[in-house]
Chain A
Amino acid sequence: MTTLTHARWSPWSMTKSLGRELLPFAVGIAVWQLLSSLNIWPPVLFPSPLQVFHAFVADLRSGALLTSLGVSLKSLGLGFLVGALIAVPLGYLMGLNRASRDFFDPLVNLLQAIPGLAWIPFAILWFGLGQGAVTFIIVMSVFFPVLHNLLTGIRTVQPVLVEAVQTLGARRMDVIAHVIFPATLPNLMTGIRLGIAFGFRSLVGGEMIASTDGIGYAIFNAQQYFQSARIVVGMLAIGITWLLMDRFILRPIEQRTTMRWGLMRDGLDNT
């Protein structure tokens, strides 16, 4: 993150920072290759980087990889949208209205202790095996981090900001629109980022058990046929997709809102 934000945009510093970011991956692959060259374990237990690369090319050519990824990302997107669309209004309602907070707080506290994946049995009963069940699990995983961070944001709005605009003539709706909402945007962004991260984890688990499609199912299926290299391809695809999403979509959005206002909120970031 620091390298991205503070590097000057000269070709040399870009090459240097790119090199610094790729180095750990290069070392990781080298160690991996070394270990598999020692032939301690059979390839089915420990496939080599080269085998994984071949499996990757094959899955890419056949279109299987992108198809499963597409299915997964669609579930993630839909699950996130539904989860956030419930969590955000509920968060503002709870944050701004004492009675609704008193009512929902105990429920939310109980339910947020239940991992998204614990909903798998009911997801299957209600939606059957398939992406519907997976989407439901993602909704349950996205909902709580978004709600929790939003509530934290509303709770930590500086009272003096509210009072200052009140002495400028602001009514309750003005306070919500011009103080509460912008003040909670950084927390909302953090919540959204965490929500997608949680949703992504549940996605893979959910697809392994509750679906017949998607990247999680692809990994599970490869294991059934002892295609270990394809398992690694799926795992790496998940990791790389997350990295790309986080780096090029989520972090830039989060940083744009916090940096411009000079509000760095370290410590909230716990992914």
Chain B
Amino acid sequence: MIAEFGQVSLILALVLAVLLATLPLYGAYRGSDTLMRLAPSLVIGHFVFLAAAYVALSVAFLNHDFSIANVALNSNLLLPWYYRLTAVWGSHEGSLLLWMLMLGGWMLAVVAFSRTLPREFLTRLLSVMGIVSIGFLLFTLLTSNPFDRILPGPTDGQDLNPLLQDPGMIVHPPLLYMGYVGFAVAFGFAIAGLLGGKVERDWVRWARPWTLAAWSFLTAGIALGSWWAYYELGWGGWWFWDPVENASFIPWLVGTALLHSQAVTEKRGSFPAWTVLLSIAAFSMSLLGTFLVRSGVLTSVHAFAHDPDRGLFILIFMAVITGAALLLYALRAPRIMTGPGFDWMSRETMLLINNVFFAVSAAMVLLGTLYPLLVEFMGWGQISVGPPYFGAMFILLMTPIVILLPLGPFTRWKQDEVMRLLRPLAASAAVAIVLGLIISAALGAWNLRAITGWIGGIWVMAGAVAWAVRQWRGTRSGLALHQWGMTLAHFGVGVFLIGVAMVESMTFERDMRIAPGQTVEAAGYEFTLHEVAQVKGPNWRAEEARFTVNRNDREVARMNPQKRLYHRGGQVMTQVALRPGITRDLYIAMGEELDPASGAWSIRIHIKPFVRWIWGGAALMTLGGLISAGDRRYWRRRRAESRRADTAEVPA
């Protein structure tokens, strides 16, 4: 019953999406107020039915309804209730449902917070998002129905992939999807703007908080994914340039470029067409990410059930959405190309450089990700580019960004002088170099990567602080929220840089053979293995190694890594033991039992300096983005201007 209820809800949501994508849009074209007024109600109904479908699937998981294939494949009687709830998005079908629920949620938020947008504009925006929703609803109903039955249902289900039975996994996909889907709002704004025929600085301003919010969610989602891979996959790395990771990273890079180009277009009206193009690209790259993950086109550690039919569907969908958007762009952009000029030494130039480097980075990651395909297409055999390509490329492309980042906010719009700029930052530069050298020496991290990492990181952090201080002194009212947000996010970049440089240059990593009672020493720490015990969990059993870690004869940690066997699927999983710290993480993962007689195991020990700073930096960026998005400036002026627009429309 519950499955049919969910199914019908999805179909009704599709009907409403079709209505939303047609009637109000036609109304906006014909200037019919009655039709346009339908849009908000349709959005609410659309969301309600999506939510109903989502709840239906959740209830099925909670009640162990194994006659639903999706439940039977991703849950079982032993699975705790909270993982049964998160198992809803553990599968391809369920995650699509979550995706659509979020799209519906974003649309609802647009209706709730943007009531004062000019009606035609709001209508077009919602209709465009309705079109996106149609695509996903059709995709779900036709190729990936989460409510498909298997009759007779099995008495017990398989299991949720053990990799996904983890708190990090509860929040990672929803955050990521919030980001992906959030770019649909920016996309909607751009298309609505193109349809309207004028690129006004207005709509760019209206789009900014939405883009910022989406970008923040995406940042948090990617960071969580990286953190999860770090402790759950047992590899000890934090980024692998895996195609699926890249699929989330490309929209992030494009989104970062978009944020900065929006700033220019909003404030100065320069490069409007580029902003529109980036809005289209950010969402298209999100769609491409979806395609890559679910079609089996690229092999990856992220195992979604691959299905070429699904891949074909997403590809067609992407062709329609992006193709139409780019065609519209080609037709309408010439009209909006013009923007005011600017001097070579100006904030516009700085942001243009930012955009060039981020856009090129996105293109490079895309190229690297698709390179195996390209090579095969050209008949050059099968190869893959791998991390060295990405690593080298990123150092090359990000160095200029790091050097120029603190200069950006200090630069004046339109034109500026080099000398005026260098004076306030000379102190930051001096601090960065001296402090960077001292810290590197003190930590014994005397290598090029660590030293440049510290200098670059401090330069960016000091630059952000210097700017905030000057701004604070200069104005009575202090910093506006969006300025706080920017400072925080830029500061986060510095923190992130230091984390990356230290982890990449100073990680200690070794496989060792150790038997109970033995002690091994690694980088100043003594690891003692006391015993290897058998332990049992709700749906697994495991061998658990019990370690104590000493430093200078003082106990710093007790660590118990496990090797788990999940009963149902028979998967073996390493559960690493982690002792996090601000300046270093201790990390133990169990390998194989080497010698049953002595009980010796192979054990992998990692000491990762400053690895937390990577995610700390990302957290600061996220926070900065969210704070900026909450700035009243975007909202207040919007109200004033839409009021003006309303009154202007009355006589006409």
- To the question of whether A and B form a pair in one complex, the answer is no
Q: Report B's interface with A, CB cutoff 8 A.
A: none
